[in-house]
């Protein structure tokens, strides 16, 4: 046990020494940000494999669990975790991405300590909502007075899930607030499944797939509706 | 009886052709814990369990403090005093991950020394120490995320369904909606949303049973004619090639429906529908349609039966043709036989029809898109009767900003229904004598040809304004419709003026509410005729 702790501390101190150019005070704690895998048995383990020792009596915030975004502050002298912050909102100068910590000797394939990288990509970003506009051009034989709907995988393709806004005789749009980096599968209908879109030869059309990045307008074309020859 | 035999034959043929895809890994994963939460994210559907977690997946039994099961990737991550039993092997550690499809696992231990190991699927093979890589553990950060369902027990059939028992649906409004059990289908097949029965203003399904290619559900429905009612339906799907939907409405509507579709090969499909209404007025209806599509044309053979009438129709048409950006058209013709059992003197009749449409799309003037379209169909019966229908529709739309747009249409429809050898047919059908004016119930006399020849005109003027909120899901839509028809008089035909308002608002991240209300003015001595519609969608 003593040898292991010394190994972690030695690794930490070596890396701290290598970052001396930053002229930090020895009293300033180091911090690591990342996703928690486990906290217990005297250790904090990150998803990257970074494993740091937890000082006895350190408070673990309520709600910290598998997958939580955390920041741990380390004692520079011992390398022990002295505090844990759940879901940190800000970025500190000392923050280091847990994935950038090098594999340490004596840690059997796990990581320990702090590298020189900053934490610009430390914690996975929480999915934020972006507004995406879905536009569609329908076939010329679409009845001029019919509404067009979007059926998505969010409702298991309920055929009248979201009514679109008509902007011209053959073009409809709808704007939706969707989580960034998610995917949306959708089809167009005229309100019932008997009027769902079909491919050009009349077969069942595969749903459109939208990978949600930044807000944008996505153009679609309906080749044919099931009930219109 | 014939329709029932045909239904059974189609269903059997369909089932024989349906192959059930089975993924590797256990067919059932059982998760029990103090708290089991379900997050149906489209890219990472996850079951997360906290407190005294026990997971049974095939030969594996995993006990831990916290578990995340990524259902799509068939991957379990367990954390906190993990104990895994696999046959004769019992493994302890702090963090454990198993990929159920490849049957390989990784474990991290801190005692006696922090280290990570790969555990092979063969329970007798030794563990191998290896460095951890970033991709070994990728749990979701679920802090602050509201689960779709909470429970204490989840039974997952990978690729098919998740059953939560009991099931609580947390809401932002406070109290959770509780059900004794709930089945969530994991099958991402849009054909599982097919319906065979009549439409409803509101339809809330409650899934009963599911498999990778089927779903059985009960539905709470609201029908404008019958009010609140219940139905049960079953859907069988074969990827995107075929489906069979059967539906039973035992109360109020009292009917059973079947809908089946099969793509025989690209460009050739068959569709079968049948319905039986039981009770005092029982009605049988069935139709079969075979449709082939080539590069330029569409051919459709339809056989249908409704009560005592039967029809066989062959239709040929072009596909919609765009001629440049300024003109598009479609032509259609066909021949049909109609049999109506008690319709003397035309119980057996043949008809020929020809029709089509032409549009002038795409013109834009001062920021307004303009469109003109003309539809026409002429049907000539062997019994000396001929109907025509011609509709001219003019429309214009303008988008003022991302949130405001206006769309206006004016449509003129004229239809005629005339009888060759007029006097014989007129008398046979009991139509009024053209020499005398037709007096409508409000005393309006209709003179001349139109009074008996069945010519009518429908004029519709509609303007629609939409105001959308910044979030996109919130919307206010106003509609104003004016009609001017012939014949049309107070209390007969369409109301001359209708205004409606439709409000859509997302009230929670998972519930969208749509409320509509319409008014008709000055019609049949009524100045207001309110109607409510509402809908709830994710």
Give the model's pLDDT for residue B21.
Answer: 44
Q: Assign B47 a pLDDT band (cuts: 50, 70, 90).
A: very high
Contact (CB, 8 A) for A208 and A185: yes
Residues 6+ apart with CB under 8 A from A49: A103, A109, A110, A111, B108, B116, B131, B132, B133, B134, B136
- CATH 2.40.50: does it fit domain A2-100? yes
The answer to whether residue B436 is domain-embedded is yes
Helix (H) or strand (E) holding B341: none
Contact (CB, 8 A) for B257 and B247: yes
Q: In this complex, do A110 and B131 lie within 8 Å of one another by their Cβ atoms?
A: yes
Distance CA B343, CA B13 (A): 37
Q: What is the pLDDT averaged over residues B439-455?
A: 64
Number of domains in chain B: 2
Q: Which of A126, A177, A185 sits opposite B473 (nearest CB)?
A: A177
**Least trusted range by pLDDT, from A178-192, B340-354, B396-410, B436-450:** B436-450
* Residue B104's CATH number: 2.60.450
Q: Does the pLDDT at position A25 exceed 50?
A: no
Q: Does the pLDDT at position B87 exceed 90?
A: no
Q: Name the more confident of B157 and B454.
A: B157
Q: Which of B132, B195, B328 sits opposite A49 (nearest CB)?
A: B132
The answer to whether residue B122 is domain-embedded is yes
Shortest distance between the Cα of B119 and any Cα of chain A, in A, equals 15
Q: Which CATH class is domain A129-225?
A: mainly beta
Residues of A in contact with B83 (CB under 8 A): none
Shortest distance between the Cα of A23 and any Cα of chain B, in A, equals 31
Give the model's pLDDT for residue B121.
Answer: 83
Q: Does the pLDDT at position B267 exceed 50?
A: yes
**Least trusted range by pLDDT, from A22-36, B260-274, B361-375:** A22-36
**Least trusted range by pLDDT, from A7-11, B23-27, B63-67, B479-483:** A7-11
Distance CA B209, CA B203 (A): 18
Prediction ipTM score: 0.73
Give the model's pLDDT for residue B447.
Answer: 63
Residue B243's closest chain A neighbor by CA?
Answer: A204
Q: Give me Rg for the CA atoms of chain B.
A: 31
Shortest distance between the Cα of B256 and any Cα of chain A, in A, equals 17
Q: What is the pLDDT averaged over residues B418-430?
A: 67
Q: Which of A49, A65, A156 sits opposite B185 (nearest CB)?
A: A156
Q: Name the more confident of A192 and B525.
A: A192
Give the model's pLDDT for residue B240.
Answer: 84
Residues of A in contact with B43 (CB under 8 A): 182-183
Q: Which of B42, B130, B505 to mutate to test the interface with A (most CBs of A within 10 A)?
A: B42
Q: Which of A1, A175, A207 sits opposite B472 (nearest CB)?
A: A175
Contact (CB, 8 A) for A54 and A44: yes
Q: Assign B128 a pLDDT band (cuts: 50, 70, 90).
A: confident
For chain A, which residues make up each domain, given as ranges?
Answer: 2-100, 129-225
Q: Name the more confident of B40 and B272.
A: B272
Q: What is the pLDDT averaged over residues A133-145?
A: 88
B58: domain range?
29-158
Query: Which residue, B131, B158, B185, sits at the end of a domain?
Result: B158
**Least trusted range by pLDDT, from A86-95, B184-193, B420-429:** B420-429
Query: Which residue, B158, B193, B225, sits at the end of a domain?
Result: B158
Give the model's pLDDT for residue B126.
Answer: 87
Name the most confidently modeled range: B59-73, B187-201, B498-512.
B59-73
Q: What is the pLDDT averaged over residues A171-183?
A: 82
Predicted confidence (pLDDT) per residue in B483-511, tens digit: 988 777 777 778 888 998 888 887 765 56
Q: Assign B164 a pLDDT band (cuts: 50, 70, 90).
A: very high
Q: Name the more confident of A134 and A29.
A: A134
Residues of B in contact with A4 (CB under 8 A): 113-114
Percent of chain B with pLDDT over 90: 38
Q: Which of B42, B357, B470 sits opposite A141 (nearest CB)?
A: B357
The answer to whether residue B213 is domain-embedded is no
The answer to whether residue B287 is domain-embedded is no
Q: In this complex, do A167 and B470 lie within 8 Å of one another by their Cβ atoms?
A: no
Residues of B in contact with A111 (CB under 8 A): 132
Q: In this complex, do A185 and B140 lie within 8 Å of one another by their Cβ atoms?
A: no
- B7 phi, psi to nearest 5 deg: -60, -50
Give the model's pLDDT for residue B264.
Answer: 94
């Amino acid at each position: 046990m003593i040898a292991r702790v010394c190994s972690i501390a030695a690794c930490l101190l070596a890396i701290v020494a290598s970052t001396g150019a930053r002229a930090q005070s020895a009293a300033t704690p180091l911090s690591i940000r990342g996703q928690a895998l486990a906290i217990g048995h005297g250790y904090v383990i990150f998803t990257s494999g970074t494993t740091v020792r937890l000082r006895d009596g350190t408070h673990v915030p309520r709600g910290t669990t598998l997958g939580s975004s955390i920041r741990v502050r380390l004692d520079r002298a011992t390398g022990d975790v002295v505090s844990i912050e759940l879901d940190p909102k800000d970025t500190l100068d000392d923050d280091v991405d847990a994935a950038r910590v090098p594999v340490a000797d004596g840690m059997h394939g796990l990581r320990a300590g702090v590298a020189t990288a900053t934490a610009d990509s430390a914690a996975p970003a929480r999915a934020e909502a972006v507004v995406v506009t879905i536009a569609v051009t329908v076939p010329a034989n679409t009845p001029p007075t019919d509404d067009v709907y979007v059926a998505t995988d969010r409702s298991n393709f309920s055929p009248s899930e979201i009514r679109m806004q008509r902007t011209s005789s053959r073009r409809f749009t709808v704007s939706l607030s969707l989580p960034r980096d998610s995917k949306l599968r959708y089809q167009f209908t005229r309100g019932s499944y008997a009027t769902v879109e079909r491919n050009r030869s009349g077969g069942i059309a595969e749903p459109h797939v939208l990978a949600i990045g930044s807000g944008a307008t996505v153009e679609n074309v309906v080749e044919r509706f099931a009930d219109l020859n | 009886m014939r329709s029932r035999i045909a239904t059974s034959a189609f269903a059997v043929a369909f089932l024989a052709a349906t192959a059930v895809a089975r993924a590797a890994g256990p067919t059932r994963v059982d998760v029990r814990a103090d708290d089991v939460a379900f997050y149906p994210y489209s890219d990472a559907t996850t079951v997360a369990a906290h407190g005294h977690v026990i997971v049974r997946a095939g030969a594996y039994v995993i006990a831990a403090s916290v578990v995340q099961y990524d259902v799509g990737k068939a991957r379990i991550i367990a954390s906190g005093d993990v104990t895994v039993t696999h046959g004769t092997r019992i493994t302890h550690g702090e963090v454990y991950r198993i990929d159920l499809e490849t049957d390989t696992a990784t474990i991290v231990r801190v005692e006696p020394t922090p280290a990570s190991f790969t555990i092979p699927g063969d329970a007798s093979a030794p563990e191998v120490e290896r460095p951890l890589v970033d991709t070994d553990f990728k749990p979701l950060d679920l802090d602050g995320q509201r689960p779709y369902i909470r429970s204490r027990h989840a039974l997952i059939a990978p690729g098919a369904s998740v059953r939560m028992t009991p099931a609580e649906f947390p809401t932002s409004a406070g109290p959770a909606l509780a059900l004794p059990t709930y089945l969530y289908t994991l099958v991402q097949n849009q054909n599982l949303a097919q319906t065979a029965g009549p439409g409803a203003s509101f339809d809330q399904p409650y899934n009963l049973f599911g498999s990778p290619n089927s779903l059985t559900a009960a539905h709470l429905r609201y029908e404008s004619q019958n009010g609140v009612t219940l139905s049960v339906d079953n859907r069988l799907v074969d990827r995107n090639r075929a489906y069979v939907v059967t539906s039973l409405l035992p109360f109020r509507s009292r009917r059973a429906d079947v809908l089946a579709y099969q793509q025989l090969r690209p460009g050739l499909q068959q569709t079968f529908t049948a319905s039986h209404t039981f009770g005092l007025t029982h009605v049988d209806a069935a139709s079969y349609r075979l449709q082939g599509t080539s590069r330029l044309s569409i051919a459709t053979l339809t056989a249908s039966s409704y009560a005592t009438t039967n029809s066989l129709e062959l239709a040929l048409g072009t596909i919609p043709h765009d001629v440049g950006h300024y003109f598009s058209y479609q032509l259609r013709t066909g021949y049909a036989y109609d049999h109506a059992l008690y319709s003397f003197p035309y119980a057996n009749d043949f008809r020929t029809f020809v029709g089509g449409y032409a549009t002038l799309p795409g013109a834009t003037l001062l920021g307004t898109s303009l469109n003109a379209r003309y539809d026409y169909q002429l049907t000539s019966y062997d019994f000396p009767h001929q109907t025509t229908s011609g509709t001219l529709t003019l429309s214009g739309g303008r988008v003022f900003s991302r949130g405001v747009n206006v769309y206006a249409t004016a449509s003129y429809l004229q239809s005629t229904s005339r009888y060759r050898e007029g006097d014989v047919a007129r008398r046979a059908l009991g139509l009024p004598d053209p020499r005398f004016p037709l007096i409508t119930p409000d005393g309006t006399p209709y003179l001349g040809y139109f009074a008996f020849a069945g010519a009518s005109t429908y004029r519709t003027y509609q303007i629609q304004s939409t105001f959308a909120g910044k979030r996109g899901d919130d919307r206010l839509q106003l509609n104003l419709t004016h009609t001017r028809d012939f014949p049309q008089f107070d209390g007969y035909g369409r109301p001359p003026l209708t205004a409606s308002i439709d409000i859509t608002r997302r009230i929670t991240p998972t519930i969208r509410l749509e409320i509509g209300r319409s008014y008709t003015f000055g019609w049949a001595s009524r100045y207001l005729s309110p109607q409510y519609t509402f809908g709830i969608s994710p």
